[in-house]
Structures are given as C-alpha cells and as structure tokens.
Amino acid sequence: MTTEPDVDLVTLEEIERRVLWLAVRIVDAANRERETGDGVKVGGHQASSASLVSVMTALWFAHLDATDRVAVKPHASPVLHAINYLLGDLDRSYLTTLRSRGGLQSYPSRTKDPDRVDFSTGSVGLGAAAPLFAAVTRRYVDAHFGERPRSRFVALIGDAELDEGNVWEAVADPATQGLGNVLWVVDFNRQSLDRVVPGVRIAQWSQQFEAAGWHVATVKYGRRLRAAFELPGGDALRQWIDDMPNEQYQAAFGLEPAEVRKTFLDGAPQPVQDLCAQWDDQTLADIVVDLGGHDMPSLLEVFRECDAVTDRPSVVFAYTVKGWGLPIAGNPRNHSALLSGDQVADLRAVVGLDESTEWDRIDPATPAGAWAARRREHLALDAPPGPLGVPVPRETGVRSTKPVSTQEVFGRVLVDLSRNSDLAPYLVTTAPDVATSTNLAGFINRTGVFAPDERRSWTPDTLLKWTEGPKGQHIELGISEMNLFLLLGQLGLSGDLSGQPLLPVGTVYDPFVLRGLDAFVHAVYSGSRFVVAGTPSGVTLAPEGGAHQSTITPSVGLELPEVTLVEPAYAVALDWLLCDALGRIAHGPAVAAPASATAAEHEEKGAYYFRLTTRPIDQAPFAAARARLGDALLRRQVLAGAYRLVEAPVEPGAPQVSLVASGAVLPEVLAAAAELAEEGVAAHVVDVTSLDRIYGAWQRTLRQAIRTATTPSVPGALRAVLPDRTPVVTVHDASSHAMAWVGSALGVPAVPVGVDQFGQSGTVAELYELHDLTAGSVVNAALAALALA
Ligand SMILES: Cc1ncc(C[n+]2csc(CCOP(=O)(O)OP(=O)(O)O)c2C)c(N)n1
Ligand SMILES: [Mg+2]
C-alpha cells in the first residue's frame, strides 16, 4: 500500500477546490444550460456533492491504490466524475452531459457511466453494503484461488443512509466479520433530504458498529478548531460546540461572517464569548466551520489509522458541511438547491478560472497538475479477466422413475456438478439460513462450508457434514434476504472486482425474494450474473400457509430486466435449464444474436431465477413427450421456454383447446386434458418452462413491428408449440395475471387461472380446490374458453 503521506497540502487543497468547482459546474450546466423542452427539472445535488469533496480528494489524490474499490454515495456522482476527469479517465465532452441520454448518470452506474465506477449506487443503503460483500467475496477468492493484490473496499455513505435497515443487517452478519480491508466513511453532515437531523445519533451508531466488532473513528474538528481548543477558554468552546443542537450549528454555516458570530454565540457562556472576541468576523466564521471532514491532514491521518487496523472493518464518521464552500452551506433546504448563475460566476472567480478556462484540467505545468498526472499513473488498473470459460455439461443426466420435486432435483444436479472437476472449483452457494431446507445439504456435504479459518465441528451429524474451513464452497448467511442478494450480486461480479469469475448459486424461500428485492434489482442493475432458486413456492407449499405462499414472484422474475425466470416442472427439463444457465454465466454473452434469434439463442445478461417446489410429481408424461419429440427438439423447446407435453389427437370437427401451464400444477392440467378428451374435446398441454423467454420472444416481435411499422408475427417459440389458433387456458400456481398475456400473443380467447388471494394452511389438494386449480376447474375453464371463441 502506498498511501502518500508527504503530498503537499497546498497542492491537495488546490485540487480540492478544482474538484468542488467541477462538481458544482457539472450540475449547473445540466440545469441552466440545457434546453430539454419538456419542462421537467433536470436536477442534481451540489450540496451533497460539496459535502464529500474533501474526503474524495483525499482518497483519490493521496490515499487510494489502483486495486482499491470504492462505492460513492449516489448524490456525489458529480464529484466522482470530476475526479475521473481530472485524472484523465473521462473525456471533457461528458462534463456537460449529466443526466442526459448517453451521458453521465445521475447516480454512479457500473454499466451505464462512461468512466470507471466500481459500484452502482442510488437506492441508499445498498451502495454502502456492496463493498462489504465484495470484501467477503475477495476473502473467498483469496482462500480458494490464491491471494490477489490487496484491495481496500471503501464505501462513502451519506449519514442518513444509516437509517436503512439493510446497512445494519450487513454489519451484523457473521459472514462480514473480521474484514480488515473494509473502510466506510460516513459523510456526517447531519442533514438528510428533508431536514437537519435532530439530536446527535453518532453515539448510538458508534456503539452499534463497535458491538458488531468494527473499529470506529471520528474526524470531528479541523486544524483551526483544534488550535482554538488549545487557547484559554478552548475547553469551554469545545464543550459549547459538542453540546450545541445540530440545528443551531448548521444554521451558522451558510451565513455572512457577522451573522455567524450572532448565531454561533447565541446563548454561549462567557469564556466562549471572551475567546471568540479576539477574532474578526471572517476568522471566527472560518474557525466555526472548520470541521474535520474538510481537513486534509485529519482525513489522511484517520485513513492511515484505519489501514493499521487489519483484523476488522473500520468506519470513520467524518464531520462535514452539506454545501461546503457554497452559499447554500448548511441550509436545511439545500438538498436539491441549485446555485444561481451569479453564485456560480462568483465561485468560478474564487477558484481562479474564467469562462474560457472553466472546464480545463489542471495545468500539467503546475505542481497540482503534475500531481494529478502522477496519481493517474498510480491508479491505472489492468483490465479484468473475461468470462470463466470452463466447459459446462449440457446435462447431468439426472434420472427419476419415482415422482420427484424440482427442489429435490435442483439439489441433485448441484451435487452432480460438484463432482465435475472442470466446473466444481468455481461453484459457490449461499443461503440465508435455509440451505438445508432448500436441498443444498448434498452440495454442502461434498464441499463444506466456507470460513476464513478451520473450525472444529462439535456435533458430528451423519446426514449433514457442516465442516467449516477455508476450502468450503457454501457461504452461510443469517436470515437476511437483503444480504443474500447483496452477496450474490458481489459473487457475480467477482471477475471484475476480484479478478476471478465464479458460478454463484443462491437459494431462498420464494416468498422472501420480495424481502430482498431491492438488493436483487441492485445486483442485476450492476451487471452481476448468478443463479437463484426461489423454493418452495406458491400455494403448493400447502401446509405452510398464507404467510409462506408466494403468488406474485413470477411477475417479479418476468418483469425485472436482466433476470430470466425459469419454472420447470420435470426433472430433466430442470437439469437442462440449470446446466444451460450456468453455461451462459460461464461463457458470458454470446456474439450479438440476430433479430430473428429464438429465445434460446437470444443474448441474456444477468441472473437466472428458478422458481421451484417441493411437490413430487410423476415424470412419466415428460418421458412420453421425450419419446415423441426426440431429445434434440425437446431440449431446444425446453430452453426456448415451452414445449408440447401432450399433443391431443384431433378428430375432424372436434373442438380444440390448449392448456398452457407452468410448474407444479401440471398433474392437474394433464388430468383435465384426459377428462376433456373423454368429453370429445382435444386438449393439448403446453408446459411453459420459462414464461420469461416466451414473453421476451413475443415482445421482441412486437417491438420489431412497432419500429418498422410492419405486421407482427407470432414468435417462433410460441408458434412451434401452439400452432393452431385454439382457445387457451393458462394455469399457474401464482397470480393469474402473470400468464394472462398468452391469449393476446396468440390472438385467441384465453381464460387465465391462478392464485389471486392469500392462501392458508392445508393439503395441496385442498389448496388447489380453494384456488380453482383442480382438474375439474381447469376443465370448466377450458369450456369457458371454448364458449368465448
Ligand atoms: C432507498 C432510498 N430511499 C430514498 C431515497 C431518496 N433520497 C435520496 S438522498 C436522501 C437523503 C440522503 O441523506 P444523506 O444520506 O445524509 O445524504 P447527504 O446528506 O449527503 O445528501 C433520500 C431520502 C433514495 N435515494 N433511496
Ligand atoms: Mg447527510
């Protein structure tokens, strides 16, 4: 590590001023100089940015190394871009593009910004926790693949972000303990969006961090204040500031010097009045606002202190001023405030620029410019490795003659893959205290549980070998679905952030996907790739009752960009889909697929979400379809999202209907088809293995038609399995809405059957009865669909 202690302060402060200027001006240009024509305010956050300028200048220009990774709080994105620009990592043309299409994103984005962004942020709290899980991932990678060059994982966090519960879930989980390469810097400006935060919460927060085993440091006072404390009356001054309500202190920050004296000394004891009498208004104002979070030497000192603590994470509370250096400093309403043109012009003059030089990089002939060039070299990073590239089998050959559930098959496929020496080293599983109840036990028995050091097992168990050590390949989490998705997100970015791609697989009870949803979104928005199994799901989880039965999760999987929902019913289909998903993750995006690509060929990014159940179902119907269609065609269709499980013989003139179903309800649908056949209705059964892929195929054809003003065709994946324009019944152990679009896609009458109320405890048969998922209900739905035709 090459913290640069001896950079000269004048140089750093000059760079700091330039960073402040550019950050402010980037927002200013977006708001005052862009004609959007739509009347919608562009926005941006000058005060939030100013608050972090000193911390970020200190980090990028005097502390960070190339391999360090930093999450920047959402509202300081202009500061990050200003710094990247000064370091030569961003073209000047971008500086006027904040919040414009193709330009700098409002909040730092790994996937959409043009310059280096290590972590996407935006939903407060998640960016804070992400580097912690990136460090968990690095610890895992180092233990399995040998130590990488050391990285420090840094999060720059707004103080109000600490109100988000996910922050504390992350801090408290034993999986995040002991990470000496983690540093959080809390931008402690005591303001949130709406207000100056009442009371002093730092004591409580510090205790919470300490209780979780963190090293806690505070940078409260700058050099000038500290010098003042040494003078006679200095102790009283310190006490006065420490005891002062946030609101009163903040009120002094944006005032004219004479006003500062009045506000700051309002009610002050005599020794403080006496001490302050020796300073003119300007000097007093400078001293009053001299907080440690804007004092370079104090910041660099505390960063070094945290580096020296190598056995646990560190958090620094850096006291800052929201709007530091700007006329809006400390104003309770400054969160979204924008400087006026005159105020911007004043600032430009103060930093020594004019309109012809305002966007310039620092002159390389000056010490500050030369220093920036040196830092650019110091922070240059090698390109990350490409995708893993290991061969993934097309299938594990899982067989079952007996009825079997998809959850059980999922566990068996993973066990089989753990025997594959090409692939096994890269598999890593994780679960929030549901590993055994989601069938990961077999995998864990073979691979062990990850712990940074060997741990002795005190309760030998013949069924579950919970051996913990550095070679374990399952990372166990406490019950926090937020942590699950945050960890999966970082495991799936391991190639980028730790130089070693992995094949991450997580499990979670399906209803609780929603509990971690924002972290799920964050993971895929960040470009992460992984498999997650939501299991068990639906009312098929019958005895567990309404609180555990998921109904809206297929919509989540279907609707989330860069998540592919997969819901197979049969063992072999699941085997194919899971191997295929891991293969796609291992090999990365294929060469750009042509517009005519089938769903299976279409390039997919992101995550694979398997929705599974514990209901054992008879595998014979799948075997029959396999014999009828042959492996090659069946596999292609299963991967494309749907195949014909039953092709009903059609008597001339007989009515036809298609029963389109997904997942655990297939046995009822098959029974319904048999009943309908007896009544002279030809009922074809289509098993939808991925609602997402057929929906995606439909949407692509529609979009193509919209953009080219041509007639859309029924997408190939649907046409192949629903060739006749028969009425349709859709059946799903989930909200009826998720499949209801199939009728529109085919242009036929459709009756969607699903679960549109909360369930309750019971048997599968009782619950299916309750929600009209029985064979009889499906028959009636088919007759209704025929009547609508
Ligand atoms: C999950 C989430 N909820 C709400 C918001 C809207 N929001 C953005 S910033 C902010 C206040 C942030 O305050 P703080 O973290 O202290 O940042 P700073 O004072 O540095 O601006 C809020 C409520 C958000 N971005 N994310
Ligand atoms: Mg704040």
**Residues pairing with 505 in the sheet:** 429, 531
Q: Three-state SS for 542?
A: helix
Write down the pLDDT at residue 247.
82
- List the Cα angle 83/88/93 in 5-degree steps: 90
Q: How far apart are CA 514 and CA 530, in angstroms?
A: 17
CA of 336 to the centre of ligand 2 (A): 12
Q: How far apart are CA 681 and CA 779, in angstroms?
A: 10
**Res. 590: pLDDT tops 80:** no
The DSSP string of 395-414 is ------SS-B-HHHHHHHHH
What is the longest distance spanned by two Cα atoms in the chain?
A: 106
Residue nearest to atom 23 of ligand 1 (CA): 193
SS3 track for 145-205: HCCCCCCCEEEEEEHHHHHCHHHHHHHHCHHHCCCCCEEEEEEECCECCCCECCCCCHHHH
Ligand nearest to the CA of 50: 1
Rounded to the nearest 10 degrees, what angle do helices 257-265 and 281-288 cross at? 60
CA of 540 to the centre of ligand 2 (A): 46
Tell me the pLDDT band of 592, cut-offs 50, 70 and 90.
Answer: very low
Write down the pLDDT at residue 3.
44
Write down the pLDDT at residue 199.
65
DSSP letter, residue 360: P
Q: Which residue has the higher pLDDT, 463 or 689?
A: 689
Q: Three-state SS for 597?
A: coil
Q: Side chain identity at 681, as an amino acid letter?
A: V
Note the pLDDT tens digit of each residue in 77-118: 999 999 999 999 999 999 999 999 999 999 999 999 999 999
Write down the pLDDT at residue 97.
98
Q: Which residues have a beta carbon within 5 Å of ligand 2, which is an ion?
A: 158-160, 189, 191
Average pLDDT, the chain: 95
> Is residue 536 reached through a cis peptide bond, with omega within 30 degrees of 0 on the bond before it?
yes
Write down the pLDDT at residue 532.
98
Distances (CA, A) of 684 to 620, 721, 727: 17, 9, 11
Q: What is the average per-residue pLDDT within 594-605?
A: 62
Q: How far apart are CA 562 and CA 690, in angstroms?
A: 14
* Residues 571, 495 contacting (CB under 8 angstroms): no
Note the pLDDT tens digit of each residue in 732-777: 999 999 999 999 999 999 999 999 999 999 999 999 999 999 999 9
> Token digits for 80?
């990050």
Give the count of beta carbons closer than 10 Å to the beta carbon of residue 695: 24
Percent of the chain past pLDDT 90, that is, above it, reads 89
**Res. 503: pLDDT tops 50:** yes
Note the pLDDT tens digit of each residue in 352-400: 999 999 999 999 999 999 999 999 999 999 999 999 999 999 999 998 8
Sign, CA dihedral 487-489-493-497, equals: negative
Closest ligand 1 atom to Cα of 157: 15
pTM of this structure? 0.96
Q: What is the average per-residue pLDDT within 468-472?
A: 97
Q: What is the average per-residue pLDDT within 456-480?
A: 90
Distances (CA, A) of 124 to 81, 99, 525, 570: 19, 18, 14, 41
Write down the pLDDT at residue 338.
97
Closest ligand 1 atom to Cα of 191: 19
Tell me the pLDDT band of 254, cut-offs 50, 70 and 90.
Answer: confident
> Token digits for 674?
């048999």
Contacts of 277 (CB under 8 A, 6+ apart): none
Note the pLDDT tens digit of each residue in 199-246: 668 899 999 999 999 999 999 999 999 999 999 999 999 999 999 888
Phi, psi of 524 (to 5 degrees): -75, -30
Residues in the ligand 1 pocket, defined by CB under 6 Å: 48, 51, 74-75, 123-124, 158-161, 187, 189, 191-193, 322, 335
**Res. 4: pLDDT tops 70:** no
* Residues 728, 788 contacting (CB under 8 angstroms): no
Ligand nearest to the CA of 55: 1
